[in-house]
Amino acid sequence: MSNFKNPLAKNLPTTIKIGVWASFVSALMLIGIGIFWVAHPAASEGSFSIVPDSDAAIRFSKITAIFKAVGDILPPVFVLLAIGFHQFRLAGYFHLITLVLVILVDMITWGTFVPNPQPLDILQHIPFAITIGVAAYCFLKTPSKTN
């Protein structure tokens, strides 16, 4: 079994180092938002057309918080594990999957189910998408022999 390796080793190409840093930033943001949903599950009830502080709203917000937290925290964990084992191409693929299954689905959900969505409701996902996209590009553009 291989051991974790230094993801910022000096012998790695610059693009890989940029991808690693972009991965760290995106992981921090996604894990942070996952923790936010668990710490403040009631934040979702104001976004949807449920009367705040009702029984239905409280139950809905707790269920939503669990799913949001798991969906936001698991992808960066897999990315960080792949980076730790120097599987940069795999980390790039994980980033692409995260971009589609987490960020894009979340943007569509906010645009579809939030009553009277504002452009900011959808655009708030762009910082996540940028860092994930940069990391995926850096990991997938390098030749496979350096991975």
pLDDT in tens, 18-58: 999 999 999 999 999 989 888 887 776 556 656 666 777 77
Residue pair 134/22 in contact (Cβ under 8 Å)? The answer is yes
> CA–CA distance from 37 to each of 24, 128, 132, 140, 141 (Å)?
20, 16, 20, 31, 34
Q: What is the DSSP letter of 101?
A: I
Q: Is 6 a domain residue? A: no
Residues in the chain, overall count: 147
> CA–CA distance from 105 to each of 21, 53, 100 (Å)?
25, 27, 7
Q: Is 7 a domain residue? A: no
pTM greater than the 0.85 cutoff: no
Structure tokens at 131: 């860092």
* Structural domain of 75: 19-146
Q: Is 9 a domain residue? A: no
Is it the case that residue 121 has pLDDT exceeding 60? yes
Residues contacting 31, CB < 8 A, separation 6+: 72, 73, 76
Q: Is 100 a domain residue? A: yes
Q: Is 4 a domain residue? A: no
Q: Is 43 a domain residue? A: yes
Q: Is 10 a domain residue? A: no
Tally of domains in the chain:
1
d(CA 123, CA 4): 36
d(CA 49, CA 5): 48
Q: Is 13 a domain residue? A: no
Is it the case that residue 110 has pLDDT exceeding 70? yes
Is it the case that residue 113 has pLDDT exceeding 80? no
